[in-house]
Structure 1
Amino acid sequence: MNIKHSIGVFDSGYGGLTVFKSIAEKLPKYNYIYFGDNARSPYGDHSFETVYQYTLECVEWLFAQGCQLVILACNTASAKALRSIQQNVLPFKYPDNRVLGVIRPTAEIVGSFTSSNTIGVMGTRGTINSESYLIEINKFFPEVKVLQQSCPMWVPLVENNEHLDPGADYFVEKYIKELLEKDSNIDCILLACTHYPLLIPKIMEKLPENVSILGQGDIVADSLVLYLKNHPEIESMVATEGKKSFYTSGDEEVFNRHATIFFGSEVVSHHISLKI
């Protein structure tokens, strides 16, 4: 008898819920387990080694819950840990499991959204310093110029539910101005952090009309639709009861309160402990 599995969705905190929301809307029939490592977030300023260790622990926890396929709905984890897990862990320890990230599916299509062949990427320090988007976008669109901007205050604003307050205006305007000053031809900005969609109302107020914003939720969801279609051996193992479970390494009540904002509907989570 074949054992059916849930699809795992991981993020260092709440941001991955914006991706999970899009995935659940496009693929509502599947079972999902979301895990936020809130006790150790944010990951953005941690070293490659630390992010890799934290991410691997969380991925292995999801594997232990029966998730054969795990989505890293976190740009920092995708930038600093995904490749090592795929190349150095899965083939030897979990040959039947798969881990996917958010950077490659975004890089595969981002060039289609610019007319000037000049785009901006806004993300955490960890994502920007990894240069993962520069490398991946160049593979698919070598003619596109990519300018990067780290936004270290945006995640704290969102995580503390201050992203729509007047006090957020300064940091939204600051980072957008610094990015656009690097090249006046930028006509598309990629929000390379899953927290940032909650700042879109503020971002749009500060952007010139000719500059568009590109989020990742629908992109990753569409990529997962295609992946499951192209890998029926994985798709056939996913349970189709439409169940969604939420777990956090932090405080459940705090997580539920914030997660409901990110996910757009009520979230009830369970606490789990990882070594810290």
Structure 2
Amino acid sequence: MDNKHSIGVFDSGYGGLTVFKSIAKKLPQYNYIYLGDNSRSPYGDHSFETVYQYTLECVEWLFAQGCPLVILACNTASAKALRSIQQKVLPVKYPNHRVLGVIRPTAEIVGDFTTSKTIGVMGTRGTVNSESYLMEINKFFPDVKVLQQSCPMWVPLVENNEHTSPGADYFVDRYVKELIAKDDNIDCILLACTHYPLLVPKIREVLPAHINLLGQGDIVSDSLVTYLQNHPEIESQIAKEAKRLFYTSGDPVQFDTHASVFFEETVHSMHTDPGNSK
């Protein structure tokens, strides 16, 4: 496979595969390279500086594979690193490359799913503490109230394939109820972590029926369709051979086992070390 014409998709681990799954389904004709930085995940509890450094290393690794466009399919990376990469790194070192995240496309439409003008956001500590969703949603829907809830146990449950176990019930029930208790008017909850779609069946069991539950896969893939239509200078560089490569900074055998659950297809990955690629 010629790597010089692929869309790069990055996540700290497996979660971005839920977004990649939607992108590949909606835009199956393009070539893709997925990179999971599993050896250093989860990113949620790391500092801004650490997440920025890790994300930049992975983005530059994907650039080195020839990807002119990289999607940060990770809310923590999008919250803590995207803006700095876009504003400080790309103009100086990579003026012909583009990096997109998952927060802005979600913020652009999330207000359309609430009638009470009250939204709940569930994410990692890193995403919640960054207040990125508060700021971005306010830009597009200044009349919408946003309540946040960090869910520190959800990613470990999913990463360890415990999301369907009875042990997950307690933490799903706990975090959902803590969020709802913050405002009775919440009628829409955004799952602001790409791991969380695997917990949707359990979330729906404890969520009141009138509350909309939004994932990010379809939102981000729809946004990418529009972006490529509006940026032919990028779209024309992407090979249309429907090929996919998967890389992990962790153990490929372990990655393939878990990734196949997230991606809902058999995955065969290769090992790489983006932190020592220079």
Question: Could you state the TM-score of these two structures normalised by the residue count of structure 1?
Answer: 0.98
Query: Amino acid of the residue matched to residue 233 of structure 2?
Result: E
1:65 maps to what in 2? 65
CA distance in 2, matches of 1:186, 1:273: 43
Three-state SS of the structure 1 residue aligned to 2:204 is helix
Deviation at 1:271, TM superposition (A): 0.3
Query: Amino acid of the residue matched to residue 59 of structure 1?
Result: V
Deviation at 1:273, TM superposition (A): 1.7
CA distance in 2, matches of 1:241, 1:75: 29
CA distance in 2, matches of 1:72, 1:31: 16
Deviation at 1:212, TM superposition (A): 1.3
The CA deviation string for residues 121-144 of structure 1, in whole angstroms up to 9 with x for no partner, is: 000000000000000000000010
Query: Amino acid of the residue matched to residue 219 of structure 2?
Result: I
Q: How does 1:131-170 map to 2 (within 5 A)?
A: 131-170=131-170
1:190 maps to what in 2? 190
Three-state SS of the structure 2 residue aligned to 1:210 is coil
Three-state SS of the structure 2 residue aligned to 1:66 is coil
The CA deviation string for residues 89-136 of structure 1, in whole angstroms up to 9 with x for no partner, is: 000000000000000000000000001000100000000000000000
4+ runs deviating over 2 angstroms: none
CA distance in 2, matches of 1:95, 1:230: 18
Matched, 1:116 2:134: no
Q: How does 1:41-80 map to 2 (within 5 A)?
A: 41-80=41-80
Matched, 1:271 2:271: yes
Asked whether the equivalents of residues 4 and 67 of structure 2 are also in contact (C-alpha less than 8 Å), the reply is: no
The CA deviation string for residues 23-78 of structure 1, in whole angstroms up to 9 with x for no partner, is: 00000000000000000000000000000000000000000000000000000000
CA distance in 1, matches of 2:137, 2:93: 30
CA distance in 2, matches of 1:275, 1:94: 19
CA distance in 1, matches of 2:156, 2:184: 28
CA distance in 1, matches of 2:180, 2:43: 26
CA distance in 2, matches of 1:196, 1:4: 32
1:103 maps to what in 2? 103
Deviation at 1:237, TM superposition (A): 0.6
CA distance in 2, matches of 1:130, 1:274: 25
Unaligned runs of 5+ in 1: none
The CA deviation string for residues 143-174 of structure 1, in whole angstroms up to 9 with x for no partner, is: 10000000000000000000010110000000
The CA deviation string for residues 179-237 of structure 1, in whole angstroms up to 9 with x for no partner, is: 00000000000000000000000000000111110000000000000000000111001
Matched, 1:35 2:35: yes
Three-state SS of the structure 2 residue aligned to 1:121 is strand
Query: Amino acid of the residue matched to residue 221 of structure 1?
Result: S
CA distance in 2, matches of 1:228, 1:275: 29
Deviation at 1:4, TM superposition (A): 5.3
1:26 maps to what in 2? 26
Question: Could you state the TM-score of these two structures normalised by the residue count of structure 2?
Answer: 0.98
CA distance in 1, matches of 2:228, 2:210: 36
Three-state SS of the structure 2 residue aligned to 1:172 is helix
Give the superposed CA RMSD.
Answer: 0.9
1:242 maps to what in 2? 242
Query: Amino acid of the residue matched to residue 54 of structure 1?
Result: Y
Q: How does 1:10-21 map to 2 (within 5 A)?
A: 10-21=10-21
Query: Amino acid of the residue matched to residue 138 of structure 2?
Result: N
Unaligned runs of 5+ in 2: none
